[in-house]
Amino acid sequence: MATSKITYVGNLRTSSVHLKSGNEILTDAPVDNQGKGEAFSPTDLLATALGNCMLTIIGIAAKAHDFDINGATASVTKIMAENPRRVGEIVIELAFPANNYTEKVKEIIERSAKSCPVAKSLHPDITQNITFKY
C-alpha cells in the first residue's frame, strides 16, 4: 500500500497527502531555484526528516530507559552543494530541557540520534553535523 499521494498543483508547488491520516504537506521550490519559498522545499523536508527521526528514536529510547525528553528541540540547517545541486550538509543542534542527565543517558541519547533510520539512509557524501546541548 502506498504511503502518500503527491499532486503537482502548479507554480512549482506540490501537495503531499499522508494516506493513512489525511495530513497534508505543501512544498515549494526554494527562492534560489525559481520558487516562491512559501513552504518547505523538498530538500528542506529531507533535512528536517533527519531531525524528526533523531528526536523520535531518542524518544523511543527515553521511554525504554525511563528518562524524559519532553520539550527537546532540533534546530536544522540545510546547506546546499553545487555540481550537482544537492544537499551537501545537514547541521542539527539537539537541545534538551533542563535536566540532570547522567553520562549513561547522554550516551544513549547520542547513540540513538546517530543510529536513526534517516541518518543511516542518507548518502555518505551528505555531511551530518550533529551537536547536543544539555
Encoded amino acid at 53, one letter: C
pLDDT in tens, 4-36: 999 999 999 999 999 999 999 999 999 999 999
One domain for residues 72 and 100? yes
Look at residue 73 in the predicted model and tell me its pLDDT: 98
pLDDT in tens, 29-88: 999 999 999 999 999 999 999 999 999 999 999 999 999 999 999 999 999 999 999 999
Q: Is residue 129 predicted with pLDDT exceeding 90?
A: yes
Domain that holds residue 105: 42-133
Query: What grid cell was written down for 94?
Result: 539537539
One domain for residues 64 and 110? yes
One domain for residues 52 and 113? yes
Look at residue 10 in the predicted model and tell me its pLDDT: 97
Q: Is residue 98 predicted with pLDDT exceeding 90?
A: no
Q: Is residue 108 predicted with pLDDT exceeding 90?
A: yes
One domain for residues 20 and 51? no
Q: C-alpha 86: how far from its chain's center?
A: 16
One domain for residues 47 and 110? yes
One domain for residues 51 and 74? yes
Look at residue 99 in the predicted model and tell me its pLDDT: 82
One domain for residues 27 and 76? no
One domain for residues 12 and 51? no
Specify the residue for cell string 553545487: 82
In angstroms, the CA 79 to CA 91 distance is 8
In which element (H, E) is residue 91 found? Answer: strand 86-95
